[in-house]
Amino acid sequence: MYKVLQTRTSLKYDNAMVTHQSMYGYLKDNIGDNTDACKLVYFGRKISAQELLKTIDEVAAYLLKAGIQRGDVVGIALPNIPEAVFALYAVNAVGGVANLIHPKISESAFCNLIQKTNTKLIFLYDKLYKKYGDCLQNLTTVICSVSEYMPYPYKMLFALTEPSVRNNTKKFSNILGASTVKLTPCGPAEPAIYIHSGGTMGEPKTVVLTSEALNRLAEAMVSGVYVTGEPLREDDVMLMMLPLFHGFGLGVCVHTALSRIQTVLLPRFKAKLANKVIKKYGVTHLAGVPAMFAKMLREKNFAGKHLQKITRIFCGGDRLDPKVKKEFDTVLQSFRSPAELTEGYGLSEASAVFSVSLTGETRAGCQGRPLPGNRIKVMDERGEEVAQGETGEFYISSPSLMTHYLDDPEGTKAVMTKDDRGNLWLKTGDMGFLEQDGGIHFLERRKRSLKIAAVNIFPSEIEKVVCTLPEVKECCVIRARYKGKPCTKLLLVLNEKARLDAALEKKIRTYICEKLIKYAVPKEIIAVDKLARTSFGKIDFRYYEKQDGIR
């Protein structure tokens, strides 16, 4: 018989005993005496709470022995493997700052991040050592392999493809076994996490988050989401498809889930494998970006009775195509799953998740309502609040806000503001409106929107309309110029039997004009075989705008 976990809904949301501590302390408190519970599953290898905490403590002891002091920065450039989780909480346990780095960034970008953050030690994926070798000469490096925690025969097979460990590095398994030492974890208000973001203004930034910010997010997720439908249960299982360096993956798949339920680690997202893992391990919770769910849906092994176990699906990080949601939900319902694809809104500066849609309450174009403790208002260009239903820029206030952008006081000042009561607000750079019940409708990044004949035009709105046409598989609208004036350009990926001719161009332009406004009609329509994507699977509109000389 499973045990229903407490959601703390009876607790005051800002209970200092719960959130005012380190992430490491929060994890330990939530595990409590239940040390036999399975916490991580990795290619069939099960890691109990006891092994999890023991390994974290051993890694922490090594960090202290290696000279890592309170406030020092430790890099983590790893895929979703157990070592990434151990390292994250071990850094927090010694009062350090975990610098979460995308393992696929270029050598120059990697070197810049290491220097900018003054990183003292790094946990590095073994296959990246050769790529980043020149940047590692004066940096203590712990090499981590995907095979380390695999059971046989996976371990033996994967180890054959892994590079040998260099003399100036340490292998992860060799840093374990240190005797227990007294730990002084990261203070709740001290910098705990560095996440590298595009910034609300579109420029690369390093977001600084505290332990308390992530703890408050975890509490808000549990108390704010599990108020409808299925409760959170002890035998629930989260599939971690999102990477640790993605705020969504960090806050939801790791910190919220791991402190309460099991997490199955997927080192690299492959749709077919994800579907297989869902069935094999009885996954009940999923979190991902729209592109992931669209790919899973297209695989033959997606549908099946195993979907009945899924109770919660969190979708964010990009706009969710209504066609994908409808088809995904239809398949879930056909196998009696109580879940549906629920869309949320968030950004790295607010620990990645600000609002969620509740199961049974989803609406087209709505990203749900703010989590407990979060507030939002919509402001015009003069900094005055607009009426309900009117479009403007989102200002948000949250216990999970960043403290600042690293080494960028001007950038921080540009996006952080206080109201007359001293409440701190973040200017998100996101345009949208609010419904009467507080439902959030995100329309566009302010930097991506444009004005034509004094009318606000949102490329994503055009994309949404165009993608409803049967001939269109997917599309991207970019800002462009025609005879020196702003306009839009439309890039199309057509379905197999469609072709772009004069008749289809006319149909598209007419349809956009009917559904939106004539100023939204693109000056140019181009068919392409596929659209460029970012490392997170989003359509990379900036790539095309740069080609057109648009900044």
The larger pLDDT score, comparing residue 112 to residue 197, is at 112
- 468 with 371, same domain: the answer is no
For residues 165-184, give the mean pLDDT. 85
Of the pLDDT bands very low, low, confident and very high (cuts 50, 70, 90), residue 551 is low
Of the pLDDT bands very low, low, confident and very high (cuts 50, 70, 90), residue 13 is very low
pLDDT score recorded for residue 10: 35
Contact of 311 with 341, CB cutoff 8 Å: no
User: Does the pLDDT at position 161 exceed 90?
Assistant: no
Q: Specify the CATH number for the domain of residue 517.
A: 3.30.300.30
Which burial class, exposed, middle or buried, applies to 470 when counting CB atoms under 10 A from its CB (0-12, 13-18, 19+)? exposed
Say how far apart CA 220 and CA 398 lie, in whole Å. 11
Report the domain count for the chain: 3
3-state SS, 65-119, equals: HCCCCCCCEEEEECCCCHHHHHHHHHHHHCCCEEEECCCCCCHHHHHHHHHHHCE
The larger pLDDT score, comparing residue 203 to residue 385, is at 385
Give the SS3 label for residue 255.
helix
For residues 401-429, give the mean pLDDT. 95
Asked whether residue 342 is assigned to any structural domain, the reply reads: no
- 412 with 509, same domain: the answer is no
User: Does the pLDDT at position 196 exceed 60?
Assistant: yes
User: Does the pLDDT at position 229 exceed 80?
Assistant: no
Give the SS3 label for residue 308.
helix
Tell me whether strands 485-494 and 472-482 are parallel, antiparallel or unpaired. Answer: antiparallel
What's the chain's average pLDDT? 91
pLDDT score recorded for residue 451: 82
- 103 with 132, same domain: the answer is yes
Q: Find out whether the peptide bond into 79 is cis, omega within 30 degrees of 0.
A: no
pLDDT per position as a tens digit, 62-114: 999 999 999 999 999 999 999 999 999 999 999 999 999 988 888 888 998 99
Asked whether residue 462 is assigned to any structural domain, the reply reads: yes
**What domain range includes position 101?**
27-37+46-186
User: Does the pLDDT at position 142 exceed 70?
Assistant: yes
Range scoring the smallest mean pLDDT among 12-21, 215-224, 251-260, 509-518:
12-21
Q: Which of 445, 464, 481 is the last residue of a domain?
A: 445
Contact of 203 with 445, CB cutoff 8 Å: no
Which burial class, exposed, middle or buried, applies to 67 when counting CB atoms under 10 A from its CB (0-12, 13-18, 19+)? exposed
Asked whether residue 300 is assigned to any structural domain, the reply reads: no
In 10 A of CB 322, how many CB atoms? 14
Say how far apart CA 398 and CA 401 lie, in whole Å. 5
pTM listed for this prediction: 0.86
Sequence length of the chain is 551
- 50 with 181, same domain: the answer is yes
- 398 with 465, same domain: the answer is no
- 92 with 162, same domain: the answer is yes
Q: Specify the CATH number for the domain of residue 419.
A: 2.30.38.10
- 399 with 513, same domain: the answer is no
Share of the chain above pLDDT 70, in %: 95
pLDDT per position as a tens digit, 275-314: 999 999 999 999 999 989 999 999 999 999 999 999 999 9
Share of the chain above pLDDT 90, in %: 72
| Cα separation values, 165 from 106, 144, 145, 150, Å | 22, 10, 10, 18
Say how far apart CA 22 and CA 89 lie, in whole Å. 9
User: Does the pLDDT at position 46 exceed 70?
Assistant: yes
pLDDT score recorded for residue 16: 60
pLDDT score recorded for residue 539: 87
Asked whether residue 100 is assigned to any structural domain, the reply reads: yes
pLDDT score recorded for residue 3: 60
- 53 with 172, same domain: the answer is yes
Q: Which of 146, 165, 186 is the last residue of a domain?
A: 186
Give the SS3 label for residue 442.
strand
Per-residue b or e along 289-304, where b marks 16 or more CB atoms closer than 10 Å to that residue's CB: bbbbbbbbbeeeebee
Outline where 249-393 has alpha helix (H).
257-258, 271-281, 290-298, 322-334
pLDDT score recorded for residue 8: 38
Say how far apart CA 43 and CA 484 lie, in whole Å. 56
Q: Which of 158, 186, 214 is the last residue of a domain?
A: 186
- 489 with 468, same domain: the answer is yes
Q: Specify the CATH number for the domain of residue 165.
A: 3.40.50.980
pLDDT score recorded for residue 12: 40
Q: Which residues are bridge partners to 274 per DSSP? A: none
Asked whether residue 530 is assigned to any structural domain, the reply reads: yes
Q: Which two tokens stand for residue 512?
A: 């956009």
pLDDT score recorded for residue 203: 57
- 488 with 541, same domain: the answer is yes
- 396 with 533, same domain: the answer is no
List all residues 6 or more positions away from 486 whose beta carbon is below 8 Å from its beta carbon: 450, 451, 452, 479, 480
Q: Quote the DSSP letter at residue 174.
A: G
pLDDT score recorded for residue 333: 97
For residues 16-27, give the mean pLDDT. 90
pLDDT score recorded for residue 9: 37
Range scoring the smallest mean pLDDT among 21-30, 501-510, 530-539:
530-539
Nearest C-alpha neighbor of 276 from the set 307, 250, 245, 308: 307
- 181 with 32, same domain: the answer is yes
In 10 A of CB 390, how many CB atoms? 11
Backbone angles phi, psi at 355, to 5 degrees: -140, 155
